[in-house]
Amino acid sequence: MSDDKRYAYQSIARSVLDHGVDTMFGLMGDANLFMVDDYVRNGGGRFVPVAHEGSAVLMAQAWSHVSGRIGVATVTHGPALTNCVTALTEGARGHVPMVLLAGDTPVMAPQNLQNIDQREVVKVTGAGFEQIRAPETAAHDIAHAFYRATVEKRPIVVNMPADFMWQEVEHKPVSFPAFSAPAMVPEGEDLDNAIGMIASARRPIILAGGGAAGARDALIRLADRLEAPLATTLKAKGLFNGHPYNLDIIGTLSTPATYDAITKADCIVCFGASLHHFTTDKGKLMKGKRVVQVNDSVTEASKNFHADVALISDARLTADNIVHWLDEAEIPPSGFTRDLDMAALTFHPPGRTGAKPGKVNFVQALQRLDEALPKERILTTDGGRFMTEVWCRISAPNPQSFIVTANFGSIGLGLPEAIGAALADSSRPVVLFTGDGGFMMGGINEFNTAVRLGLDLIVIVANDSAYGAEHIQFIDRAMDPGLTQFDWPPFADIATALGGLGISVQSADDLERAIEALNTRDRPLLIELNLDPEDVPRMRI
């Protein structure tokens, strides 16, 4: 075969490499194995084999979040793709750009046992679908999938029919630039109204969401100019670390004192936030105040809450533009921050103390772990009853170092995402907090993957031997919660058996021994916190 001639599977592998992707996650099967082999053996790419197909998608999503690049995963046909439905939905709702290369049964074999309408399967997840139309269009179709993932900010599934793979094609590198020049706020009535509301505010707050993570310095300039405190949504956690007037996460996750302070504000200026009902506490926190929303997507503005005025524009440029007009009009600062007691506002009440024999106090354990865990870390959380206390009490360096796996309300997604994050940035440890149910569902099957890869991973399992969110509902109605309780195997022992190091924590002394192990770890470490299901704080959402 000549240098410019390749088989279609080689053209697909080379197209991924042409986009600078050096890591691919997946499971091999009939329709993608030769593509993966060429990607590794002839292209020099790194392939990360997973235990479950959905894990490949989750790893690629976390890799994308931490690296800032397009993550890539691959699976074969039939049940391989249906196993990815939850992970694709998580990515679509989290606006994560990635590409999933999904093999398909041969076009000429419609009675193949694993034949399925892939387009319809993908549609229900909210992800996009891209068809490889013919062997000779493979490079073009892959490039278009990368383009769509970038501009649509969601997973794109590429359908690869198996009977295309061994057909000869002429490969030429193809890529489509995604034009993303930021737009300045236009002159007009909306801008005038927004600046008027901000200028007249006496108690303004600057709120940043995940869409404003790149505008930190500009938002601080605006807040300092207004003498307004700064706050974030959950997904922007850590954005304003170190600023003296950082309120941290606002909404149902706020401290009681911060919640009261927000209710007294008269204007909230939101950048890159969709104002989810957790952020607004179902609108309660927005009552009696003007709300200005800045978002670069018209579909996100007023998606969950109708602001008084919305500006469809870039967060950084808009913040600087507002400062310019405040200076031009010689508007004095609000002075709001002068009245704030930040120590009181950012203090999370410790809750009840002590624990039953053989159990540890969850809140106290979190506080001790936050002190002891490596400061330069990537923080990942699984879904479950435990997670809101982790979000409030365990710090993250910045939004890019914080991964929330709760966009679809699922459990069991945390460990795969932790692995993807670790492969995107090997210079820092990844810390995962997960529940017992989530670890049983999606953690055990990939913990050995972390061991095989030699990752610096710290897993803390909040084990209350129950599905906690359901347990508390039975308790609230004075009903027997027995159906929610499980006699799980010892997770610490399982971690050790899978090649890592597991430590069971049943007392304060055990916790200190686990913390000592943090400093000497040489393999994935699992710390199992044994908890009383009736002693875990309620979810704050």
Rounded to 5°, the CA angle 511-424-8 comes to 140
Instruction: State residue 371 phi and psi, 5-degree precision.
Output: -70, -35
Over 70: is that where the pLDDT of 240 sits? yes
Q: Where are the alpha helices (DSSP H) in 245-314?
A: 256-264, 277-280
CA pair distance 233, 231, nearest whole angstrom? 7
pLDDT number for residue 293: 95
Instruction: Name the token pair of 410.
Output: 């699922």
CB 402 within 8 A of CB 66: no
- Give the torsion through C-alpha atoms of 326, 268, 305, 387, to 10 deg: 140
CA pair distance 232, 215, nearest whole angstrom? 12
The DSSP secondary-structure symbol of 181 reads: P
Model confidence band, residue 303 (pLDDT cutoffs 50, 70, 90): confident
For the residues 49-67, what does the mean pLDDT come to? 97
Averaged pLDDT of the chain: 94
pLDDT number for residue 448: 94
Instruction: State residue 186 phi and psi, 5-degree precision.
Output: -70, 155
Structure confidence by residue, pLDDT tens digits, 443-467: 999 999 999 999 999 999 999 988 8
Over 80: is that where the pLDDT of 541 sits? no
Rounded to 5°, the CA angle 329-334-338 comes to 145
- Comparing 419 with 305, the larger pLDDT belongs to 419
Residue that is written with structure tokens 């010689």 in the block: 330
CA pair distance 534, 536, nearest whole angstrom? 6
Model confidence band, residue 143 (pLDDT cutoffs 50, 70, 90): very high
Q: Which of 65-79, 171-185, 318-332 has the lowest mean pLDDT?
A: 171-185
CA pair distance 53, 32, nearest whole angstrom? 13
Residue that is written with structure tokens 């959905």 in the block: 54
pLDDT number for residue 188: 85
Q: Which of 167-176, 279-288, 350-359, 456-465 has the lowest mean pLDDT?
A: 350-359
CA pair distance 383, 418, nearest whole angstrom? 13
The DSSP secondary-structure symbol of 539 reads: P
- Comparing 237 with 180, the larger pLDDT belongs to 237
Rounded to 5°, the CA angle 219-225-229 comes to 60
Q: Which residue type is seen at 344? A: A
Q: Of 42, 46, 44, 50, whose CA–CA distance to 26 is shortest?
A: 50
CB 30 within 8 A of CB 162: yes
Name residues whose C-beta falls within 8 Å of residue 205's C-beta, 6 or more positions apart in sequence. Answer: 228, 229, 230, 231, 247, 250, 262, 265, 267, 268, 269, 336
pLDDT number for residue 2: 52
Determine what percent of the chain is predicted with pLDDT higher than 90. Answer: 84
Three-state secondary-structure class, residue 166: coil
Determine what percent of the chain is predicted with pLDDT higher than 70. Answer: 99
Model confidence band, residue 108 (pLDDT cutoffs 50, 70, 90): confident
- Model's pTM, two decimal places? 0.94
For the residues 324-352, what does the mean pLDDT come to? 92
CA pair distance 50, 21, nearest whole angstrom? 18
Task: Give first-to-last CA distance, the chain, whole Å.
Answer: 60
Name residues whose C-beta falls within 8 Å of residue 258's C-beta, 6 or more positions apart in sequence. Answer: 231, 247, 248, 250, 345, 346
The DSSP secondary-structure symbol of 466 reads: B
Domains in the chain: ranges and CATH: 5-170 (3.40.50.970), 189-345 (3.40.50.1220), 362-530 (3.40.50.970)
Residue 453, judged by CB atoms within 10 A of its CB (0-12, 13-18, 19+), counts as: middle
CA pair distance 433, 137, nearest whole angstrom? 44
pLDDT number for residue 375: 94
